[in-house]
Amino acid sequence: MIPLRAPRFWFEPFGWQAALLEPAAFVYGRVAARRMAEAPRRQAAAPVICIGNFTLGGGGKTPTAMALAEAARALGRTPGFLTRGHGGASRLPLLVEPDRHGAALVGDEALLLAERAPTAASPDRAAGALLLRHAGCDLFLMDDGFQSAQLQPDLALLVVDGATGLGNGRTFPAGPLRAPLGAQWPHADALLVIGAGEPGDAVARRAAADGKPVHRARLATVDAAGLRGVRCLAFAGIANPGKFHASLEEVGAKVETRRDFPDHHPFTEAEAHAILSDAEAKGLVPVTTAKDHVRLLAGGPQARLLGEAARVLRVALRFEDPAAPEAILLAAEAAFRARPPAVQPLAAAPVSALREAAASA
């Protein structure tokens, strides 16, 4: 199973831990590279922008998808989100309804995305695309799915964390890469570096040398002034909780206690009760992320109590160049218009069957 918390050695110079895992990484990398090279990618009936990354874990894909959706609406488009529904139990294609589908079924990211635009949660990206098309969407923003090679993107935008870049540059499990870099690079159309740092700058230089557009952005807190001076118990189950803590400190919050959990962590009743009790005993305000908040509100009684008591630190992606989102969208639409005839086009017939299956979920 892929770990939900990245080991430290992934982001350190190549050492003995990575060396021990190199044989497994070789096998994993061969399989991943073959899938990317040979998988029969389907073509959707609308432009597809894949927002992926080279490495496991977070990096800002979901905020990037949200920012592009906002830009698409400003251009008069009707965007929809495609997501696997990571952390959810459903294996059926679902058009997410936040009032009906909880995080346990469709995952936390799907619920966040569905607050902003129609969202299809489906391990089968092609089936999800059919649902979005039936919902009237004319642009598909695929959150992750770059390595799965199920759907042919018209533009693959690879997101890189400026502070960590590609880590030690090794393939899982010896490093954070989802597939050998040489197998991934040819399928990337553009790069987005989020935040500052030499690791991200190094990837940007390679992209520029290969003639790929490089965009830059940062994650900014939203409506966080009310947290200034607040004594906090900060808790989060995300890929990089250190970013969350740093953001709290940047807005002037006083982080006095921290509780870190693995990415997409389903909070138990005992954990929620312990966080509430600890915060009350120390006179602290519990603060968490938007992803964690939606999971709490869909949990048991103690989880919901914690969700109602917790303050939420929200972030949004801000492009360095305000014209970048429109450029990305128009490039994807131009690539869509220039497509050759689909070798394996998506059929429209299964839509009714998909809707019936989703209705029973």
Confidence of residue 342 (pLDDT cuts 50, 70, 90): low
Fold of 37-219+318-336+344-359: Rossmann fold (3.40.50)
**59 has binding-site annotation:** yes
Q: Using one digit for the tens of pLDDT, what is the confidence trace for 99-132? A: 888 888 998 999 999 999 999 999 999 999 999 9
Q: How far apart are CA 74 and CA 69, in angstroms?
A: 9
Radius of gyration for the chain, computed over Cα atoms and rounded to the nearest angstrom: 20
Q: Is the pLDDT of residue 341 over 80?
A: no
Answer whether residue 358 shows pLDDT above 70.
Answer: no
CB within 8 Å of 338: residues ≥ 6 apart? none
Whether 58 has a binding-site annotation, put simply, is: yes
pTM of the model: 0.90
Flag whether 268 is marked binding.
no
Give the span between the Cα atoms of 26 and 14, in whole angstroms. 15
- The rounded mean pLDDT for the chain is 91
Q: Does 283 appear as a known binding residue?
A: no
Q: Is 55 annotated in some ligand binding site?
A: yes
Instruction: Provide the percentage of residues in the chain whose pLDDT is more than 90.
Output: 78
37-219+318-336+344-359 and 222-315, same CATH topology: yes
At residue 119, the pLDDT reads 97
pLDDT of residue 343: 46
257 is an annotated ligand-binding site residue: no
Instruction: For the chain, give every domain's residue range.
Output: 37-219+318-336+344-359, 222-315
| 61 annotated ligand-binding residue | yes
> Do the beta carbons of residue 220 and residue 63 sit within 8 Å?
no
pLDDT tens digits, residue range 167-182?
999 999 999 999 999 9
pLDDT for the residue numbered 4: 54
Residue 349 pairs with which residues in a beta bridge? none
Task: Give the single-character DSSP code of 263.
Answer: T
> Could you give phi then psi for residue 146, rounded to 5 degrees?
-65, -45
| pLDDT tens readout for residues 138-195 | 999 999 889 988 899 999 999 999 999 999 999 999 999 999 999 999 999 999 999 9
Look up the CATH architecture of domain 222-315. Answer: 3-Layer(aba) Sandwich (3.40)
